[in-house]
Every structure is written in C-alpha cells, then in structure tokens.
Structure 1
Amino acid sequence: MANKQHYRHFLSNPVAKPPCRMLNANMYGFFVDANTDKMQGYIDDTLNTLSTTVTSFRVLGHYCLLTFTDIEKISSLTPPFSEQGWMQETDIIIWLPVAEIEHQAGENDINHLYWYPAFIAVNNIYALINGREVWGYNKYLCDYEMPSNMADLSRFSLSLQCFKHFSPDTKLSHHQLLSISQAPAAKDENLLDNIEEFGNKVARLFRGDPIGIDFSLIKQLLNGFIHPQMDQILFKQFPDGEADKAVHQAVVHSPSEIKKIHAFKLLRNNFQLDVKQLASFPLFDMFGIALGLQEVHIPFYINMDFDQLGATQLLPK
C-alpha cells in the first residue's frame, strides 16, 4: 500500500516499538526428526502463498529444531517504550530451516537461508500481543516446565489451552502437547564446548538434502544461532471481519543480532521427546513429528544476549 497511515500508539495499547534487547537468554535446543513433505506443505500454506515466478521457499532436510528459551529480561530500545519497564519471557519454538530459492533463466539458485519459527508458545500476554502484531510471530499462550539451571536437566514440558478433539461437545481445556525427559546415559560421551564442532555436527544432519545445498551453507545457517546474526523469516497476516480475506499479508524478515555469548555447551545425548496428539496443534500433520516417545539429536545449551530487530517486508515487493 503506497500511503500507509501512521500506527496509533494510543493510551492502553501495549504494542511497543522494536528493536528489543534480550538479556540472559537461556536456550536449550533439540533437533527432531520430521517429514520433508509435511514441513514443505506447511511452508506452502504460509510463506509460499506469496511466492512469485522469481522467488519461492523450500524446507531443508528432514529435521526441525525444538527450543526452550527462558529470557530473563526484555525491553524495547526505542523511547519512550524503553522507559516503560521490562519483562521476563519464555519461548518454546519449533523452527524450520528454509531456503529462499531464486528462479532465473531456468535455474534455481539459493538466495538466502532462514530459520522459520513456524510454531511458538509464550508465557505472557505482552509478549504474545507484541510478537503477533509487530513481527507476525504465530504465538500462543502456554504453561511450561524447564530447568532453572544446568545442574538439573530432568524435565521440559509444554501445555496449552486448546482442543484435544474437535467436536461440537468438546470444551476448551489445558492439555500437554509435548515433554522432554532425560534418561540415564548409556555411555560416556566426548562433550565439547566448541562452537565450530556444533556447526559441524548439525551440518552433517542436513547433508544429502535434495536441494543440493553444500556443507558450508548449512554450517552458516546453524552457526547463525551463536554467531553475530540469526535470520528469521515469518508469515505475517491479519484477517478481515469475516476471517475470509486478509487485510494484510506479507513474508517478513527479522534478524536476531547476537551481542554476547555467556556460555555454550553440547549436552549428553540421552533425552527423549514425547509428543501427544492434540487437534488444535497436530504436530504430525503440521511437520511430520511422530507421536509418542522418540530420540532427539545434538542437544545443546546456550546463554546469550541478543537484539531482536524490527521486521522488514520481503514479499510482496
């Protein structure tokens, strides 16, 4: 739209301006087996609804990333919102690795690699409203469990107020969607606090991807979590009053600028993920994540400070 109206920050409106400073973010990450076709279907239903003859998006490989992140302090860096206060936020996110493909003269070239936070649950309403309104994060309120420190990694869980089954008689209630527990280690492991080794390990997971992305590009994508910038891509939309048409729809890009790494550690690989079937959040149908108990890959921990920058529109151009 050529002549956009100024957004109204009226009294009581909780929407603040980015960028936001995130301090002491404790992230636990787990790579999870998924299904390429189902993840691609999710991307086709979101990002690729705005694809063109020149640009489209493809999922990489058959893994997604599940993270639990406790952020101690978040505040806007833009006055006057920077003077209003700060909040704690916990995010539980399922990330899809995505390639932006450029179609030119019969060739399909990789233009950029992104992380797509396709599902995200948070613990406070302020985070939910700002995330959805400003950036387009697909956020939902949740209850959760996660370790308060590295000494006790016994349990992670995510529960949401939702529908377990769809029927006219089903009442909205709280249900657990997933949990992660730590089993006794089968053997000693050579655990390295080495960021380069982390990038190598994860890049090997994605080798053999049908798009033909080489090892160095995958390392670049994964190292973005712990080097200066992690590129996020999002699908932002708002419905009309009948929830039929979109009054706004865009593919946007928001970088996370890593300011400082306080700690990084590869964790012992003895975690099990347990996924439940919920009609509101059918993870198997969405991403091909299997129901029930399953192994995870390359669990890791990182503590960092980062800035979440504002979102810029990629499509439509």
Structure 2
Amino acid sequence: MSENTGSYRHFLGNPIAKPPCRMLNARMYGFFIKGTYSTITEFINNTLNSVPSENVYFKPLSEYCLLTFTDIENIASKVEPFSQYGWMQETDIIVWMPIAKVDKTSNKALHIYWYPAFITVNNINALVNGRETWGYNKYLCDYTMPSDYKHADNFALSLETFQPFNPNTKMDWHELLSIKRFSDGGSLFEEIIEVGQEVAELIHASVEDIHISAELIKQFISGIKNPQMDQILFKQFPDGFAHNAVYSAVVHSPSTVKDIHKIAMLKDEYEVNINKLDAFPFDDMFGIQIGKQTAMLPYYVCMDFDQDGAYELISSNS
C-alpha cells in the first residue's frame, strides 16, 4: 500500500463523492476492432508497466480491442451522505484491452483484466470523479448513439481538441470515429449466441509465449454473456510542472452485475471509421488503422451494475 498522508478532505465545493456507486439501465453496444499487438504492448509498457514491480508485469492478450458505447441512465453513490445528493446520466465511449497479470518467474498468467485505455464521457462530474478517485483517463466528448437497440444504425464520437497540432490552431470540435450499420440482418438475435470460442481464438493466438489456457480466456470472455468486467487502471498525478509523478499506481476496480435486462448479438455488419486526430492518434496509440474496418462480434446489453472503488495492485510508494 502507498504511504498514508492523511484523510481525504471532502470540503465544501469539492465534487468528489465516495464509491461504490450503482448504475441503472446501462445500455452498452460493443464492437471488436483490430489494432497492432506491438503497438498495444508499447502502450501497456508506457502505462501499467511503468509502475515498478519485482514480481509481476502486464501483457496485452490480443491485437483486438473492444470499442463500447454505453449510455447509463442513472448513477448515484451508494455511500451516505453522497447517496442523498442526487443522480446523473452518463455516457462512456471506451477502448478496452484484455490484459494479463503475469508472474515474472513462472511466466504464468495470474489474472485477466479489462483495461479502459481510452475513455470519454459526456459530463464534468463523471470526468472529475472518474479521474481523481479511480484513475480513469477521461476526456469530455460529444457523441451520437441510438436511443433504441432496434435502430442501432449510427454511432459517432467528437472531441474538442487541437487539430492539427500547430501554434495557430484554435481548439475546436473534431470527429474521432464513427460506426455505421451497412447490412440489415434484422437488428438482433433474440438470444445471445455462443461467442466465447470465437473471441478466445481472437485472443489466444497472440499469447502463446505465456502460460495461459484457452479455458481461462473463455471464462474471462464469458463477461459478454454475463457482463462483469474486472477493470485495471493506470492512476497517476503530476507535480506542479507535470515533470514528476506525485502518485503512480496500478489499481483495479470490480464491476458487479445486479440485473441483465437484455443481451443479444447484433446480426448486422458494422463499419468503423477512424479519423486522424493529433491529440488522440489511434494508429500510434493502439495500432488501429486510420480509415475503415469491419467490426467483429457486435453485441448489445442492457444491465444494472455496481462499480466498486479502486484497489491498489502496485504502487510507486509500495
């Protein structure tokens, strides 16, 4: 554990609320998109593996990333007095990576996590609480997504940023990505298909150099049918010149599903288009090609879940 420097001050005007929090009617659309394994590995080395550990390191499990659009209808803290303040709507657009915690001596995978390596949200309260408490690397966004899963035709994400990087560029809104349905398969399968084997095959081909079984991966991927994500995050805070980190840690935060209202695979085919933004270069970050690709295994789920706080796995002060 890191050194305790005193109780956190919930002073008047400070928007930080205590977790865990409960999420009601979270409507998630998921799409697997292809990146580049070596580029993803470099991203993991620059984040999770930058926190020194004598015993373990973190390794991506696949060149495929999971891109999700999630509209959460109602979020509130479960802790008094914050639970009495009110509730908020939140939309998250996230690029997830499956990550293994690996023992340095045996080279055996000890645990598998989902890493929200890129995340944007639509309100400032979600951004502030997410960054400061959990360590989510959140950014504000504007977005388009379906209001009804039966008409899941168009998705889009725009960010207010500098494009291109240039001393004369004024910050403005720019589209980073869009997703469009390009064939009509009748909207949804009524029941979810068995996708564990297909996703396991996407992942397992990339991790033959560590001791990990296909069965472990399929158990991990079962989160698609029974959505639970044991999340891992890189949490850091800079000093006053953004030169040194005053805090740096790898943390994990469990999600516990309370109820599933609907879950199904999308029959249709979807085309993902990634635009080049200098501030968020998906090609350099994750090896996701600029331009168009077909999404794999698109799915939809509507659920209620609880998000726990963040527990330290490794700290620079350990």
Q: Do both proteins adopt the same fold according to a TM-score greater than 0.5, normalized to the shorter chain?
A: yes
Give runs of aligned pairs for residues 229-308 of structure 1, distance below 5 A. Answer: 229-308=228-307
Amino acid corresponding to residue 8 of structure 2 in structure 1: Y
**Counterpart position of 1:114:** 113
Match of 2:7 in 1: 6
Residue 150 of structure 2 contacts residue 187 of structure 2 at CA under 8 Å; is this kept in 1?
no
Q: How far is 1:214 from its partner?
A: 2.1
The CA deviation at 1:188 is: 8.2
User: Cα distance, 1:221 vs. partner?
Assistant: 1.7
TM-aligned CA deviation for residue 192 of structure 1: 6.1
Structure-2 separation of matches of 1:153 and 1:228: 20
CA distance in 2, matches of 1:245, 1:284: 27
TM-score, length-scaled by structure 1? 0.95
Q: Equivalent residue for 1:20? A: 21
Deviates more, 1:127-136 or 1:205-214: 205-214
Moved over 6 A (4+): 187-190
**Structure 2 residue matching 1:202: 3-state secondary structure:** helix
Structure 1 SS opposite 2:196: helix
Partner of 1:313: 312
C-alpha displacement of 1:170: 1.2
Structure 2 runs not aligned, ≥5 long: none
Aligned-pair CA distance for 1:144: 0.1
Percent of pairs identical after alignment?
A: 52
Q: TM-score, normalised by structure 2?
A: 0.94
Distance of 1:255 and 1:153 partners within structure 2: 28
List alignment gaps of at least 5 residues for structure 1: none
State the Cα distance separating 1:288 from its structure 2 match.
0.6
> Is the CA contact 1:226–1:258 (under 8 Å) kept in the aligned structure 2?
no
Which digits, 9 at most, give the CA deviation of each residue in 1:214-243, with x for residues without a partner? 221111222235437420000000100011
Answer whether contact 1:269 1:297 (CA < 8 A) is retained. no
Structure 1, residues 228-266: CA drift from partner, whole Å, max 9, x if none?
742000000010001101111110000011111111010
What letter is aligned with 2:292?
L
Q: Give yes or no for contact 1:34–1:62 (8 Å, CA) kept in 2.
A: yes
Shift in Å, 1:154:
1.4
Q: Counterparts of 1:145 and 1:125 in 2: how far apart (Å)? A: 18
Distance 2:186 2:136 in 1: 39
**Contact 1:198–1:266 under 8 Å retained in 2:** no
Measure the CA separation in 1 of the matches of 2:101 and 2:199. Answer: 20
| Contact map agreement 2:192 2:225 (CA 8 A) in 1 | no
3-state SS, counterpart of residue 85 of structure 1: coil
Which residue matches 2:192?
Answer: 194
Contact kept, 8 Å, 1:30 with 1:298, in 2: the verdict is yes
Match of 1:219 in 2: 218
Q: Deviations over 1:27-58 (max 9, x none)?
A: 00000011001111110010000142311000
8 Å CA contact retained: 2:152, 2:181: yes
Amino acid at match of 1:267: L
Query: Does the alignment pair 1:204 with 2:205?
Result: no
Q: Does 1:137 align with 2:136?
A: yes
Alignment-mate amino acid for residue 84 of structure 1: Y
Q: CA RMSD in A?
A: 1.7
Matched, 1:40 2:41: yes
* d(CA) in 2 for partners of 1:303, 1:96: 21
- Matched with 1:175 is 174
Whether the aligned pair in 2 keeps the contact of 1:38 and 1:286 (CA below 8 Å) is: yes
- Supply the distance in 2 between the matched residues of 1:149 and 1:97 (Cα, whole angstroms): 28
In the alignment, is the contact (CA less than 8 A) between 2:188 and 2:266 conserved in 1?
Answer: no
Aligned residues of 1:269 and 1:298 also touching (Cα < 8 A): no
Match of 1:56? Answer: 57
1:86 aligned partner: 87
Counterpart secondary structure, 1:108 = coil
The number of residue pairs the alignment matches comes to 313
In the alignment, residue 226 of structure 2 is paired with which amino acid? H
Cα distance, 1:50–1:256 mapped onto 2, change above 3 Å: same
